[in-house]
Structure 1
Amino acid sequence: MEKHEFDAAPQPISFRYYDLVMAAFVTILLLSNLIGASKPSYVILPGIGAWSFGAGVLFFPISYIIGDILTEVYGYARARRVIWTGFAALLFMAFMAWAVVQLPPADGWPGQESYEFVFGNSWRIVFASMVAFWAGEFANSFVLAKMKIWTKGKHLWMRTIGSTIVGQGLDSFIFYPLAFWGLAGWPIELLWQVVLSQWLIKTAWEALLTPLTYLVVGKLKRVEGVEIFDTQTDFSPFASSQEVKKGAAS
Structure 2
Amino acid sequence: MQRAFRYYDFLVAGMVAVLLCSNLIGPGKVCTVDLPLFGPLSFGAGNLFFPVAYIFGDVLTEVYGYARARRAIWAGFGAMIFATIMSTIVVGMTPSPDEPWNQTLQPALEIVFGSTPRIVAASILAYWVGDFVNSYVMAKMKLWTQGRFLWTRTIGSTIAGQGADSLLFYPIAFFGVWTNDALIAVVIFNFLMKLSVEVVFTPVTYFVVGRLKHAEGVDIYDDGTHFTPFSLKDEGHRHKVQE
Give me the TM-score of the superposition, normalised by structure 2. 0.94
- Shift in CA distance, 189/53, structure 1 to aligned 2, threshold 3 Å: farther
Q: Which runs of 5+ in 1 are unaligned?
A: 1-10
Q: 1:180 offset after TM fit, Å?
A: 1.9
Aligned residue for 2:176?
Answer: 182
- Shift in CA distance, 130/60, structure 1 to aligned 2, threshold 3 Å: same
Q: 1:36 aligns with which of 26, 30, 33?
A: 26
1:27 aligns with 2:21: no
Q: 2:214 aligns with which of 218, 222, 233?
A: 222
1:76 aligns with 2:70: no
Q: 1:38 offset after TM fit, Å?
A: 5.7
Aligned residue for 2:199?
Answer: 207
RMSD: 1.3
What is the SS of the residue equivalent to 2:27? coil
1:138 aligns with 2:128: no
Tell me which amino acid in the other structure corresponds to 2:223: T
Q: Which structure is higher in helix share?
A: 2
1:1-250 alignment to 2 at 5 Å?
A: 11-37=1-27, 39-107=29-97, 108=100, 109-110=102-103, 111-183=105-177, 186-250=178-242
Residue-pair matches, total: 238
Q: Which runs of at least 4 in structure 1 moved beyond 4 Å after TM superposition?
A: none
Contact residue 28 and residue 113 of structure 2 kept, 8 A:
no
Distance 2:11 2:173 in 1: 29
Contact residue 231 and residue 247 of structure 1 kept, 8 A:
no
Q: 1:39 offset after TM fit, Å?
A: 4.1
Tell me which amino acid in the other structure corresponds to 1:90: M
What is the SS of the residue equivalent to 1:226? coil
Contact residue 161 and residue 207 of structure 1 kept, 8 A:
yes
Distance 1:54 1:237 in 2: 29
Q: Which runs of 5+ in 2 are unaligned?
A: none
Q: 1:56 offset after TM fit, Å?
A: 1.3
Contact residue 65 and residue 237 of structure 2 kept, 8 A:
no
Distance 1:38 1:103 in 2: 20
Percent identity of paired positions between Structure 1 and Structure 2: 52
Give me the TM-score of the superposition, normalised by structure 1. 0.91
Contact residue 41 and residue 52 of structure 1 kept, 8 A:
yes
